[in-house]
Structure 1
Amino acid sequence: MILEVNNTFGERRMYLLDGSTPASPPRTSDSEQTSGSEEHGSQIPVRAKSKFTDVWMKDFHVSPFNSRKGSYALKAQNPFPSVDYENPLIDNTITLKSSKNHGKLVARLFSTGKAIDLDQLGFLGTLRFILSWWWVGFVTFPRIVREAGKIFFKRKLHVWFRPEVLTSSVGRPPTSAEITLYKVFRNYLHVLVNQTEVDFCITFKASIPNIPTDKIATTHVPGRNRPYKNIEIRVLTPAFYSRLIHYTYISEAIDRECIFTDERNRTLWLCRPQLLPLLLSERSSIRLKDEDTPPVRRSYLDELRWWLLKRLRCPPADPAYSVTPQNPAVNVDDIRARPFSELDRYVRGYFGHQYACEYRRTVTKLFLAQRFCFGFTEIVGLVDLIIRVLLCYVAARQLMSWGASAPGLMSAECLEGLVMKRDWSACSNALAMDYWGWWSLGKSMLAVYSCHMYESLKGYR
């Protein structure tokens, strides 16, 4: 039996059960019935020989009121015990047990009526089925929130923070920002592998849907036959990409997100970490130097945007499970200067400049969210939308007031001459304005182009 478990965070876990572990010790009567069914076949009821039982360990976070410890026990009825069985019935019971083998939760799913044959349902039957059940999906999440509120406020149950998924589970879907950062990080690994003196072959699993496993190997050099150093890098959750850009050095990110952290905080997994010093080596062992690559020209405005990104860089959000005990009397701050990170320098350089515009906007947005909006990029997007709407509103009001002071410029003849014929003669009388009229015209033009200037400041091309 295959079981799929999903939680409200978008994460998923698949379990494959073979029924080798009984959910409870078998009774003598059941074994006698089973042996008897082999002799008499159809004389014994089908249900007596169609039980499926198994026990397996829990390793996936589902509810904040239960830890990731414990086990599950399943008892299931085979809905199709024989090929010619015409009345399938579902009857599954799952029991959640604590780490001390105490029962905590019992959930049962069973049939209450005859199974529905889709081939014989017809249009009216399909419509009746949809009208009867369409509302269930809409009220499921509000029901979960309501029951969670009862458990938390009335029952005072302990809340377990969500740990990151293990290698056996599937992380949540990525955001658009994390997809952008994944592309940059993947290409950075390609450049890094081909610049180090040691030959590497990296198996990179990105945790991005519909993206196959990537093999990143050092380009073969004629006349040099050396064995490859093999490393597997597996991103457990797309949150790794949004946390990676907060670190100045890739080695520091791997240490804090994979090696020297609690297992429940890991966003990355890799084998053979002892090879990392060879991959993330000093500049002296990199074959391609900065002077060997063509320079990348940037305007003063681009440099200003990059300076803002560097000033906004901040540590990532604290993990759910702290590695060191927190002492409220001691305030620990990182006093190191934060230069451009290794990923920043790659994007600013020759090999990654094609990602510079999108990368800079994405990272700046994440830093603003972490510093001022509790990590929610949606709030940054909402503020950005409000600013653009206000600029458009001010431009429209300014045009209306200017049109009232110079109605000739808003006439049909003037607009047709400007748009269709590029002719200013129809507007000559309206353009005969005094000083205050030209001042009003300048303010209107500034208001109209303010939204475009705002987008230009952010770096849109």
Structure 2
Amino acid sequence: MAFIKEIFYCVTLLGVQSGGLRFWAKAIVIFTGSAMLIATLALAGLLLWVLVDSRRLISNSHSPSNIMGRPMLFPVTLTHTRVSPVKNQFSHRVLLVGIPIGFRGRIGPFLSIDQDSPAMSRIASLKRLFAWFSFDPVRYLQRGDNEHGLRDKLDLFLRSQNKDPAHWPYAYLMSVPRFLWWERNVVSFWYLYSASQELDAMIMEINNSFDEKRNVLFRLQPEFETPMAKFDFAREPKYLDQQKTVLSLPSLPSARFYKGIWEKHIFASPFEKVEGSISTRFMDPLQASSFNPTDSIANIVSVGLAGESKMVTRISCREPPVDPVNVTTAHLVKSILRWTVPGTLTTPRILFQALKIQYVQSLMKMMNRPVIQPGSVARHPTSIERSLESFWRAFLSRCVESSPESLELTYIPAASISNEHVCILSPPSGTGSPATVKRLTVEVVDPGFYTRVTNYADLWEGILHEQQQKGNCADATSRPLVVSDLQLLRTVIFSFQKRLPPLPREFGLTLPNLLAWCRGSRSEMDSFVLSSTAPSHHPSYAECVLRITLMCRFAMNSASLLWIYGVLARWMLLGPNEVYIEITHSGICGTDEHFVKSTQVLGHEGIGIIKLLGSNVTTVKVGDRVGFGYVRKAGINIAGALGSTVNVILTSVPSAMAQSGMSVAYFLFPTATYPKMRRPCFVLVPQSGTA
């Protein structure tokens, strides 16, 4: 992402300096044509590599392991049939890939499985990056546990559901893999097998179009009413690799179909309310020899509150599953060309069908997205929401720590930010009887709560508003904040706020006044942060509030649009003899000692990286590390000011006047000569500098 931003900086700066629409027209045509040509040649080269290179199965582990099944390609057809309240049907083709959980390795450059590990070599990481299909653990189950593999993430999820992973020692995942750098997966199926090697449970990992997901675990029961097929029970375990470390075990089903049911708690379709249940029926994917083109390997039925069927999704395998290791090159080429492109069109196809149902056929009307229910995983949080979450956590901690009652508060952050449950105990709870300890649970469901809570002038009124049911048409019970005991939370918060010293009323450009100006009024969260947290955290909080204000007023709540505004503003301010520097380090010298305990950490000297250059600047280039001083005509010895670990080429640096008390992450300097750093350095404050 940083590389793309750098290109955006350079191209736009050239456009501004060249002037006129002719430059942009030529740039767009050249860029589009070049990108299409490069992409076509790269895909052709990669496809040739996939076909020519060996497709042997290679394991990353040298220790023996037992798994269920083997990697397989399942060319399936999804048929969606709506039967109530209106009738509608459409179908599309998708390539599902099945992988055994517990195996980490690859099949040549064609398929990479669970290889996202920090311990990988550069060559192995490059092969994984350019694999035609890949399964990365970061995409599956809970978010945030990126350091774990698929098996570890599965075990963590099962424990979070109060289940013992030992009940299901084997698992098999069927999902749409990532194609190069493209990924879009509506649902993934985790088949869980018991120690007796029979299909026993299922996890359906559902991803809606709003970047939300829900992982549903449910048990499966054999359906003995259907006639048994001829299963291959005689198939012996088989080693999949040449080193004989990966042993594939066969499944031992007792029925042809397995059925299960679960309650619906996710807004999976814009035409379906969050109510009712989902009835399912599956075949064992490891018994591919029993597949019939007329059978459904999976049936998923949406059932209403009255028991009526509303929508049926049928997954059928019209062609035999493909073994990528033993398949012929011609068959593999046919499968790649026929099934790769339809998979990339999943999102446009879903959007087209939704618009067709509402605007062309006028059958149904799409509903607004409700807040997710507890247990679901919200959209990916923004950087602002991630930063502000720590302040809300600190607020709850201080409230409990100052409580005179025996209290145990369990704080559950938004699942897309953290999967941990934070237990906070008040001081009296450690001395009394466990039976007398009051218990309180506070769960944040929507990550947007962290930005909204900073804007409430009355914090308790804001909490009341956030925990109220929103009455959404799709889900009338949804709420951004879930509190187990509202009255107890009120008592705890009010008890802490009585002890919280009020912020002094001051005139001028102070941080409390700046925050109040941003939103038009003072906020109780501002009072807490500025009076009860470390001064080093105040600039981060102020930056978040300022960015929220700018997004609301000028950027339609879009962080990306705000970033574009910032880039354009920088170019408008950049003169021909100026450079634009990103501050990476700031030092503290003797004249700053009296500021150390205040709300600012002032550094008269700093180090940064040049991001933009004026048209007359020739002595440095974008990307150079430079040293600088903040005070006009200072002639600072930067090596002495920033410490003995800093290495510079010259002793004095040019400088510019900065307004006292202004927190900055970037700075403009009106000169074209800057000292370059000899090598990376380490200074006292490795953060955004302040002036």
Aligning the two structures, in what range does the TM-score lie when normalised by the shorter sequence? 0.5 to 0.7
Q: Which residue of structure 1 lines up, in the alignment, with residue 567 of structure 2?
A: 385
- 1:10 corresponds in structure 2 to 211
Q: Tell me, what secondary structure is at the counterpart of 1:17?
A: strand
Q: Which of 374, 388, 393 pairs up with 1:167?
A: 374
Kindly provide the amino acid, as one letter, of the partner of residue 249 in structure 1.
D
Q: What's the CA shift for 1:178?
A: 0.8
Q: Distance in 2 between matches of 1:204 and 1:399?
A: 50
2: CA distance, partners of 1:244 / 1:423: 47
- Secondary structure at the residue paired with 1:172? coil
The whole-number CA distance in structure 2 between the counterparts of 1:400 and 1:173 is 39
Partner of 2:444 in structure 1? 235
Distance 2:329 2:529 in 1: 56
Is the Cα contact below 8 Å between 1:198 and 1:278 reproduced in 2? no
Once superposed, what is the RMSD of the aligned Cα atoms? 4.3
Structure 1 residue 52 corresponds to structure 2 residue 233? no
Q: TM-score, normalised by structure 2?
A: 0.46
1:358 aligns with 2:540: yes
Name the SS for the 2:298 alignment partner: strand
> Which residue does the alignment assign to 1:110?
316
Higher relative strand content: 2
Whose RCO is larger (CA < 8 A, sep 6+)? 1
- Aligned pair in 2 of structure 1 residues 160, 229: CA closer, same or farther (>3 Å)? same
2:117 matched residue in structure 1: none
Change (3 A) 1:48 1:20: closer
Which residue identity is paired with 2:203? I
**Structure that is richer in helix per residue:** 1
Quote the residue 1:216 is aligned against. 424
Over 3 Å counting, the alpha-carbon distance change for 1:396 and 1:96 in structure 2 is: same
Q: 1:376 to 1:386 in 2, by over 3 A?
A: same
> Quick check: 360-369 or 212-221, which moved more?
212-221
- Which letter does structure 2 place at the counterpart of 1:364? L
Structure 1 distance, partners of 2:405, 2:305, is: 46
1:327: which partner in 2?
A: none
Structure 1 residues 61-70 or 230-239, which shifts more? 61-70
* 1:271 and 2:484 matched: yes
How many residues end up aligned between the 2 structures? 369
Seen in structure 2, the aligned counterparts of structure 1 residues 182 and 123 have a Cα distance that, compared at 3 Å, is farther
The 3-state SS of whatever aligns with 1:276 is: helix
* CA positional deviation for 1:361: 1.0
Deviation, 1:300, is 5.9
Summarize deviations over 1:58-84 as a string: whole Å, max 9, x none.
Answer: 221022222223433323223346xxx
Match of 2:551 in 1: 369
CA contact (8 A) 1:255 1:261 kept: no
Superposed displacement of residue 240, structure 1: 1.7
Q: Residues 406 and 432 of structure 2 are in contact (CA less than 8 Å); yes or no, is this contact kept in structure 1?
A: no
Paired residues of 2:515 and 2:542 also in contact (CA < 8 A): yes
- Kindly provide the CA deviation profile for residues 217-260 of structure 1, in whole angstroms up to 9, marking residues without a partner as x: 12469977794321111111212212222222332222111146
Contact 2:221 2:258 in 1 (8 A): no
5+ residue gaps, structure 2, are: 1-201, 235-251, 580-612, 619-647, 654-667, 674-687
Q: Report deviation, 1:264.
A: 4.1
* Matching residue of 1:181: 388
For the structure 1 residues 54 and 225, does the alpha-carbon distance in structure 2 shift closer, same or farther, using more than 3 Å as the test? closer
Instruction: Check conservation: 1:98, 1:104, Cα contact below 8 A.
Output: yes
Distance 1:21 1:201, change over 3 A: farther
Q: CA deviation at 1:135?
A: 3.1
Which of 184-193 and 119-128 deviates more?
119-128
Distance 1:133 1:421, change over 3 A: same
The Cα shift of 1:181 comes to: 0.7
* Deviation, structure 1 residue 390: 2.5
Contact 2:263 2:278 (C-alpha < 8 Å) held by counterparts:
yes
Identify unmatched segments of 5+ residues in structure 1.
315-337, 404-418, 425-443, 450-458
CA distance in 2, matches of 1:211, 1:71: 26
Letter paired with 1:366: I
Q: Deviations over 1:240-298 (max 9, x none)?
A: 21222222233222211114654544111121222123211256854xx649xxx99x9
Match runs of 1:234-383 below 5 Å: 234-259=443-468, 261-262=470-471, 263-282=476-495, 286=499, 290=501, 301=509, 303=510, 306-313=512-519, 338-339=521-522, 341-383=523-565
> 1:117-196 alignment to 2 at 5 Å?
117-120=323-326, 132-156=338-362, 157-196=364-403
